Structure 1
Amino acid sequence: MDDRATSTQQTPPEAIVHGGDLDAISRRYPDAPRPWIDLSTGINPVPYPVPPIPPASWQRLPAASEERALRATATARYGVDAPEQIVAAPGTQALLQILPRLRPCSTVTVLAPTYEEHARCWRGGGHHVSLTDDVGRLADADVAVVVNPNNPTGRLLARETLVSLAATLRRRDGLLIVDEAFIDLYPANASLATDLPPATIVLRSFGKVYGLAGVRLGFAISAEDIAQQLREQLGPWAVSGAALAIGMAALADEAWLHQTRARLVKDCARIDGLLSKAGCVAIGGTPLFRLVASTGATDIAERLARRGIHVRRFPAQPNWLRFGLPGDEAAWQRLTQALGDAG
């Protein structure tokens, strides 16, 4: 890592619009009814029930044994060969900030459009970043980045495609990074973590499917030597005691995950029907969000915002809207009425 990218010319950070920006949307629409319904993220609106947190988790630094126990639980949940391959971090965003430090100045190709923080972080680390919508072009890079399933389109690349790409990159001393933030609700064999190819880092989010983004917990899965480098970069006590306790309970609860999958199938069918009636055309999505297109997308988003409902817009694709799922019947009814008014 001592020959990592050394560019010191700092460019201004790219302005990236994220979902969940309720402060900004509230300022823009001060007269909108409260509480806001935030459908701008892909976070499960029905969260895992947080278990009682032992007082000691707040009162002392997390013990190494607790962190190892969380990694062991994640090993079983994700079907990974060994806990040493797993890195626990305070959210996958923290890992995105660190990954560019692991490579010398490289050519990095990101399969796009996708979560824009990947490109921003690699550019910020002094790397040469390009975007492509052609999977074939990824093989020419030093580092290839794929979000699978993709955010916001929901595109899901076949495991065989990614394994082949990883093999090609390995022959050139390259690296494949696969962000699987939304894969928990897919069949286990959709994930690369269950049989990790060489020269591959898989990222897994905790907050999305478990609806607990504020816990700030995420994982990297890689060869043991890379995992150790990431742990060294994160430093000691990277994950809070409370996050360790919550993560262990949730990741071990297969029954809750099974029930959540079943509920989301029904919720997705319900919102698809509402969006279709409002004149939106489904163009992608995952079990946690839907991507639609409409020539009236801007007007729909404005009308919803004035009714206190926040959806994700895309400045580069003005006809796109991404809808998360309402969390209770009151929210469903507000969305139904607002879409009817917007239609």
Structure 2
Amino acid sequence: MNNSNHKIIRWGIIGLGNIANKFATDLLTIDNSELYAVASRSQVKADAFSKKYNAKKAYNNYEALAKDENIDAVYIATPHALHKENTLLCLEHGIAVLCEKPFAMNGIEVDEMILKAKEKNVLLMEALWTYFLPHYQFVLKALQNKTYGNILKMEADFGFYRAFNTNSRLFEKSLGGGSLLDIGIYPIFAALSTLGKPETMNANATFFENGIDASCNMSFNYKNGVIADLKSTLLEDTPTQAIFYCENGTIKINTQFHSPSTVTITTNEKEETIDFNYKTIGYNYEAIHFNELLIQEKTESDIMSFNFSKQLIKTLDEVRKIIKLNY
């Protein structure tokens, strides 16, 4: 941070698509945050985004934003394949980086990003917003405390239908398109954050004509016979739930488990659904955490740690290896 005494964190955003709009909307709800600058390859798009969210600066290239010494933190929301390049650019200029998931295209790229952050002594974190949502933290605490006993099995899915369209980032192989990196990361995250690294993994996938995965089914196998059944698909709408079957009850994160949702707990005695009364889209929670890290002059999150990000991307790498998905 340029001045560790000031209370306002001045943010920049690189990549001004759908996710960036959501992040900017929630950033406006945080008292000690200001959207200072935005950058797109298009000046028209940058100007429009800047006007919509009242940013002071609108750049038509990412390099100009990275050189702006007034910026404390940058949120990177470009396509997956650009994450490493954009992150390294900002880190080189000493700007803290919150980079959208997946952190990068593979473990090698993630290692390079983390190495640069350590070299520059600058804060870097993967923006996997689910980790910071109150309902997910509630479930993690219940599982860690074994409130309903040990986990016997878990299931998590994420699926929606999209007509195949090579003009869409979601289907562009060079940008890391397909179900696995874009949405399969969430069921995998749910397994790793609750059960840890699996002993073995099985996976199978279907593919679109351009070689990206249309759907992916995964089974993570743990000691004591615990299994995590995971699924991602662009071929159909699925419940998009995360369910944890425990010895003395079942914890279900309801539809859109990765975003603000409700939690239903079922035991022999009763069924109860907990509403967390979200007032925002949900991106403010990770931003607030990031702001706190900056103010405390931390260079790594204790929640979304480097080790966890490495484990997440390397698990994705292993699944890609099993299903023979090459970018």
TM-score under structure 1 length normalisation: 0.31
Greater helix share, structure number: 1
Structure with higher RCO (Cα < 8 A, 6+ apart): 1
Q: Which structure has the highest strand share of the two? A: 2
